[in-house]
A = this chain, B = another copy of it.
Amino acid sequence: MMNAGAPPLSRRSFLEGLGGVGGTGLVLAGMSALGFGIEARAAAPPVLNGRAGKRIVVLGSGVAGLTSAYELRKAGYDVVLLEARSRVGGRSYTARRGTELTELGGEPQTCSFDEGLYINPGPWRIPYHHYGYLHYARTLGVPVELFNNDNDHSYIYYDKGSGPLARRAVRKQEVAADTRGYAAEMLAKQVNQGALDQAFSPGDKELFLDYLKSEGYLTDSDFRYVGTPGRGYDVNPGASLQPGTPSTPHAMSDLLHSRTWDTLKSVSDFDQQRTMFEPVGGMDRLPYAFARELGPVIHLQHVVEKISQNDQGVTIGYVDGQGQRGSVSGDYCVCAIPLSVLRGIDLQVSPEFRTAMDGVSYALVGKIGLQMKRRFWEEDHAIYGGHVYFDDADIGSISLPSTGWLGKKGVVLGYYQFFANAAKISALSLAERQAFATAAGQKVFAQYAENVETSFSIAWHRVPYNLGGWAQWSDDGRRDAYPKLVEPDGRIYLAGEHLSYITGWQEGAIESAWSQITKLHKRVNA
């Protein structure tokens, strides 16, 4: 049906062109652009046909390194992967009972959550358009479950505004119904007064008034907003003689001065929309699925000290878990080490390349998981997953788990802060971080402090082998440095979320790996 009139040949060549440039992820998007995305198949890794008899040294077992190693090996390459840590996954990480972490200059931390409880301190959400991630989840058998990224019944707790709705937990559904309802009422009044007549084509005005009435639950007769069941009842409708007691809208001026409206969006940002997933059991499930496939290709506890190259190949010097120095050689290197870390490694590249590597900064990011004795947010507040919104950037949000529904205990994300706020909180001791997070949550939930059992906190900028949450490109950096880094320097190809326009997401790492190994493979086959 959607095919009518589409020219099959030019369409195919257009799509093949896209495939050549940026992998099949682009093909899918391109199909959508041409108006027949409706028939597109899910994105898949590049097909690396042709010669492959080369040895590739992959550095780093984050998602970019694992993707590169997996696809290159599948294409027939001889692959060896070096990983500094004693685990795979990099930032695709799950903290559970026994997880150990010592931040730079920090205290040793061992996670003491109950068996079966966990938190993903790095990436934690998979939007529906992360085709690469979902491809691997599907093909490597990593089950996913829904992540509840937006909960109508959650709270907004803003303390920087003024008026009766400031410094009070307000249900998001009330803010949405009231703010949008009043706005629809105001606009309907203008339209009814003829103020917008010249903006409308014939017939539009009546339809637009119908839209405003429908969107904002305005009264039939006179386009007023007087509340709606969706904002919640004072007493819910029930059985027998309980029809429910409607609730009363907040005053528009109170809403405005609370600034809680800034949580409302016509549509969620592209990377925050439904449907959103998380892997069942933790974000490290995909890295471990890759590792299962790669087996002896992966060498853990191999800390890279030196990356050198010449016309013949590359040589990587490392220190292993026993403190022994060694080296491994290959024809090419795919280096999936974050630039924040790579800048500290003895790396043989051109001065221009080295300068370009300095053209990016890395995000300071802090998170804490708090194990709660009881799921009081579900039992007492009827909040099942989603986020509690703060305008205090030291806290950011409190996020309730999308797993373990109706269970006994749960791990809450107690804060999620960035930049200066993350720098500040990361300077606290582990105990102080827990105390800070506990006090923040107590503002919203009376049951918070009494239920905190144990915590696991992380400041990514202080984590060895990461030194930051994700790459942050300035406009200048994107223009000047970035294009140099997506091209190889000699026999060294970089890969990772930092070499994508989806920084901070595993999808960026996957698509970067696809892009870089495609280039490498073309060269081998040139």
**Interface positions of A from 13 to 51, Cβ below 8 Å from B:** 18, 21-23, 25-26, 28-30, 32-33, 37-42
Tell me the A235-291 residues at the B interface (CB within 8 Å): 235-245, 247, 252-253, 256-257, 259, 261-262, 264-270, 273-275, 277
A380 within 8 A of B: yes
B253 & A382 in contact (Cβ 8 Å cutoff)? no
A201 within 8 A of B: yes
Given A40-B380, A256-B207, A382-B129, check contact A499 B240 (CB 8 Å).
yes
A190 at the interface (CB under 8 A from B): yes
Chain B residues with CB under 8 Å of A201's CB are 253
Chain A: residues with Cβ within 8 Å of the partner, total of: 131
A456 within 8 A of B: no
Contacts of A275 in B (CB 8 A): 148, 151-153, 383-386
Which residues from 156 to 195 on chain A have a C-beta closer than 8 Å to any C-beta of chain B? Answer: 169, 173, 176-177, 179-181, 183-184, 186-187, 190, 195
Give a binary string over A47-61; 1 marks a CB under 8 Å from any B CB, 0 the rest: 000000000000000
A502 touches B (CB below 8 Å) = yes
Q: Which residues of chain A in 344-398 are interfacial with respect to chain B, using CB atoms and an 8 Å cutoff?
A: 378-386
User: Which single member of B3, B169, B232, B443 contacts A270 (CB below 8 Å)?
Assistant: B232
Tell me the number of copies of this protein.
2
* A430 to B: closest C-beta gap in Å: 26
Chain B residues with Cβ below 8 Å from A211 are 179, 183, 256, 261-262, 264
A384:B29 contact, CB within 8 angstroms: no
B500 adjacent to A240 (CB under 8 Å): yes
A153–B274 touching, CB < 8 Å? yes
* A150 touches B (CB below 8 Å): yes
Specify which of B228, B243, B262, B483 is in contact with A501 (CB 8 Å cutoff): B243
Nearest neighbor of A270 in chain B, beta-carbon distance: B229
Q: Which residues of B contact A40 (CB under 8 A)?
A: 380-381
Q: Which of A196, A383, A513 lies at the interface centre, i.e. has the most chain B CB atoms within 10 A of its CB? A: A196
7 tightest Cβ-Cβ pairs between the two chains A and B: A180-B266, A237-B501, A33-B234, A239-B511, A275-B384, A230-B267, A146-B146
